[in-house]
A = this chain, B = another copy of it.
Amino acid sequence: MSESTDDIEILIALMAKLPGLGPRSARRAVLHLIRKRALLLTPLADSMSQVAISARECLNCGNVGTSEICDICLDENRANGELCVVEDVGDLWAMERAAVFKGRYHVLGGTLSALDAIGPEELRIPRLADRVTAEAINEVILALNVTIDGQTTAHYIADQLQGQVKLTTLAQGVPIGGELDYLDDGTITAALRARKEI
């Protein structure tokens, strides 16, 4: 791109790596940032530097936050005996937006996958059984995506925990192939309310 100089080209190339932005929209975003230098570009640079330093995974549940143990795990009001297992942090955020679940979460960090050689040890699965005991959990809600890998993972976990705790999944209502993070809040709410025992 001979039309802009090095610093700006580098920024455009980096912005184009964000999900949802292609090369053209990255250029548009960079022009917008340069026009809004004081209002947006500098605050965004500072905010990113800050998050690069402070963001961390909760040691207990895998949620992303800025402390060793996240706000949800620290909130005693959420120690209601319900634990919701999700694939990733985006799914946890989607559940929180629906604002219907009042318990705690366990973020696996992916799904089991023979193809990609991802076994239970690569995920946050071993820790799950410990939490069930330590936090006096009486219901584990398996809120995994309705995909082949998601359901394989749910069955694996159900096998591990069978007999120790009540196991439920979100109700049908999550469309086949659907991912939680893309669902509207109402669908998530309905699916949680109508959850059934495995």
Contacts and interface: CB of A to CB of B under 8 A. Distances in A.
A87 to B, nearest CB: 12
Contact of A7 (B33, B47, B71, B93): B47
Chain copies in complex: 2
A41 interface: yes
Interface in A1-59: 1-8, 10-11, 14-15, 17-21, 25, 27-34, 36-37, 40-52, 54-55
A7 B55 contact: yes
Query: Chain A: interface secondary structure?
Result: helix
Interface of A: 1-8, 10-11, 14-15, 17-21, 25, 27-34, 36-37, 40-52, 54-55, 63-67, 70-72, 88-90, 92-93, 96-97, 181
Given A1-B97, A19-B32, A33-B51, 15 more contacts: A3-B63, A3-B92, A5-B67, A5-B70, A7-B51, A8-B64, A11-B44, A18-B40, A20-B20, A20-B21, A21-B21, A27-B93, A34-B55, A41-B52, A42-B52
